[in-house]
Amino acid sequence: MIKKYYPYEYVKSVFAIDYKKLWELGFRGIIFDVDNTLVHHGDNSNPKVDRFFEKLHRMGFRTCLLSDNERSRVERFNKNINTLYICDADKPDPQGYEKAMQLMGTYRTDTVCIGDQIITDIHGANNSGIPSILVHFIKLPGEKKIGIRRYFEFFVMWTWKHRKKYRYRLGDIRRKK
Ligand SMILES: [Mg+2]
């Protein structure tokens, strides 16, 4: 069934989400994918991302990075952020999501997952019974080559866009300009 790939919401980037709204909706824990969600694949964190996490933590959110990448990569990214993390997560296996909730002390009902890949991040969140927000994958200017998985994702999202009941399941969580 294709709906196992459907996110609750689709936005341009992690910065396009109204986190105050998420808090008001009762969310307390956020699981973040790293590569192409927070930074371009393999990049270190940067001041904008560091400040972003500082802000979330000040608001009271618990956060956990959930990455299929190896420890050294995730630790390098996390150096200035200092949040909880899980590496070698093997998404969409729900185990990593369960562990992330355990680490954050949150539950299915107050945890949301944010990532750029339907087959791993979103499918895994659905497998774990938690809401998810798909973000458009980070691309470098001029970068043309995309993986074959992206074509499957375009197809999934095309069907998602035409099925009203699966869209905007978190209400209006887009940040107003
Ligand atoms: Mg990713």
Which has more confidence, 143 or 11? Answer: 11
Query: How far does the chain reach from its first CA to its final CA, in angstroms?
Result: 36
pLDDT digits (tens, 9 = 90+) for 93-116: 999 999 999 999 999 999 999 999
In a domain? residue 177: no
In a domain? residue 90: yes
Query: 15 pLDDT band (50/70/90 cuts)?
Result: very high
In a domain? residue 176: no
| Predicted TM-score (pTM) of this structure | 0.96
Separation in Å, CA 6 to CA 38, 43, 52, 69, 164: 20, 27, 26, 23, 12
Span from the CA of 138 to the centroid of ligand 1 (angstroms): 9
Q: Give me 54's structure tokens.
A: 């500082």
Span from the CA of 69 to the centroid of ligand 1 (angstroms): 10
The range of the structural domain enclosing residue 32 comes to: 2-166
In a domain? residue 78: yes
Cα–Cα distance for residue pair 11/61, rounded to 1 Å: 20
Minimum mean pLDDT range among 18-27, 41-50, 102-111, 149-158: 149-158
| DSSP conformation class of 156 | H
Span from the CA of 70 to the centroid of ligand 1 (angstroms): 13
In a domain? residue 161: yes
Average pLDDT of the chain, as a whole number: 96
In a domain? residue 51: yes
In a domain? residue 142: yes
pLDDT digits (tens, 9 = 90+) for 61-76: 999 999 999 999 999 9
Identity of the residue numbered 32: F
- Number of domains the chain is built from: 1
CATH of the domain at 87: 3.40.50.1000
Those residues with Cβ within 8 angstroms of residue 102's Cβ, 6 or more apart along the chain or in another chain: none
Is residue 43's pLDDT more than 80?
yes
Which has more confidence, 164 or 111? Answer: 111
In a domain? residue 174: no
Cα–Cα distance for residue pair 19/53, rounded to 1 Å: 11
pLDDT digits (tens, 9 = 90+) for 122-161: 999 999 999 999 999 998 888 777 788 889 999 999 999 9
Span from the CA of 26 to the centroid of ligand 1 (angstroms): 25
